[in-house]
Structure 1
Amino acid sequence: MKLNSACNQIPRILILCAATFSPTFVLAQSDPMAPPASQTQPNRAQQVPASATSMQDSATNAGDVGQTMKDKIFLRKAAQGGMAEVKLGQLAAQKGSSDDVKAFGQKMVDDHTRLNNNMAPIADSMGVRLPTNLNKEDQAEYDKLNGLSGNDFDMEYLSFMVKDHHKDLHEFRQEAASTTDPTLQAAVNNATKVIHEHSVMVDKLARDKGVPMPQRGPNKSASPTS
């Protein structure tokens, strides 16, 4: 009888123990003050967040695309300007009233034809469609010069060439400094040297004929020799 009585007490003891320890166990598992499981994991110091890497890649790609667009715009403008130099040079070689102006006009034809031919394959490789006609400004200058003769022609042609070469020299130097394309940069550097030579030549011709020189700032005459 005592053995049976003791056995009958065992289920009650187990139930009591379960009732005593279960709430504590449940509270421990659902304690709102307990740190999140993610905080219990060791930090991985060398792991770079994917979002930061993605942002860096996006910024780099955006910069590359932006520079490529600038290169394409430059190539189109350079081709447009080179075409104008050739056509205006042809006019000067025919209508110039002095041998110096005729010779300079012919040099523009020869040098800018060569520069245009050097730039064309680069433009083609970048998908740039080159212009086939003069823009409005250059066409207006061509028409104006075509209506002039003698010294009036020489003065107008040299004045336009001075301003045009100052502007071109500045734009070519900017492109040479900014482009990241090595082939384009080499071609632009070469063209810059030629344009600088032209600028020095036309400045001298213009001064000899009394052509007013463009201004660089207030009361400063421009004389680009570098």
Structure 2
Amino acid sequence: MLKPVLFTIMMGAALLPASASAQQQGSTGQQAQAGDVKLSKSDREFVEKAGQGGLFEVRLGQVAQQRAASPEVKRFAQRMIDDHSAVNKRLAELAQKKGVLVPQELDQDHREKIDKLSKKTGTEFDRAYMSEMVDDHEDDVEEFEEASKEVKDADLKGFAAATLPQLREHLTQAKQIQGKVKGK
């Protein structure tokens, strides 16, 4: 009865070569799972950074929905919520297949940024939020460009490359809106 179970597990772990999955079975019987895939340290660090960044974009977008004065800033914030929620979901699904957890809570640095921005309202918030969005997306584009070239895991590399155009678009839009709210 063990062979059908292993076959099912291996088919579910389509990202694993069948031989690696079978080798991971070991003496414990049914332990061959997609979660047994080991990412390199640098690949895990990329997942952590991308997860933190995506979560930050969503949470800060939610704050912007309440604090922003400009309808354009609010629309941008909603886009950040929608787009980064979708990217976060894809990253979480991929990471789960690789046996890595995506952060569910912000780290201290990101919490402090949100706390600082949460104290602002109106046009002051708009300027600070859009400045943060430009800075954050410049970092994101740089990290995802690097990951699309240097990440060892092919699926993770593909995720980075596929996400990059959207991040570039966010950066362009953030710079445009930043230019508009700076003068107000």
Distance 1:180 1:169 in 2: 18
- 1:126 equivalent among 87, 98, 110: 98
Residue of structure 2 in register with 1:148 after alignment = 120
**Offset of 1:182 from its aligned partner?**
2.4
Q: Deviations over 1:97-137 (max 9, x none)?
A: 00000000000000000000111122112221222211111
Q: How many residues align?
A: 146
Aligned pairs (5 A) from 1:54-65:
none
Residue of structure 2 in register with 1:59 after alignment = none
Q: Deviations over 1:153-191 (max 9, x none)?
A: 101101111111001100000000012422212211111
* Residue type of the alignment partner of 2:167: I
Residue of structure 1 in register with 2:145 after alignment = 173
Aligned pairs (5 A) from 1:1-226:
68-210=40-182
Q: Deviations over 1:19-58 (max 9, x none)?
A: xxxxxxxxxxxxxxxxxxxxxxxxxxxxxxxxxxxxxxxx
Distance 2:56 2:72 in 1: 20
Distance 2:115 2:152 in 1: 38
**Offset of 1:85 from its aligned partner?**
0.3
Distance 2:60 2:118 in 1: 9
Higher relative contact order (CA 8 A, sep 6+): 2
Distance 1:180 1:76 in 2: 15
Distance 2:156 2:112 in 1: 30
* Residue type of the alignment partner of 2:117: L
Q: Which residues of structure 2 form unaligned runs of 5+?
A: 1-38
SS of the aligned residue for 1:118 comes to: helix
Contact 2:91–2:102 at 8 Å: present in 1 too? no
Distance 1:91 1:191 in 2: 24
Task: Please identify which structure carries the higher helix content.
Answer: 2
Q: Which residues of structure 1 form unaligned runs of 5+?
A: 1-66, 212-226
Contact 2:92–2:101 at 8 Å: present in 1 too? no
RMSD: 1.6
* Residue type of the alignment partner of 1:154: D
Contact 2:127–2:181 at 8 Å: present in 1 too? yes
- TM-score w.r.t. length of structure 1: 0.62
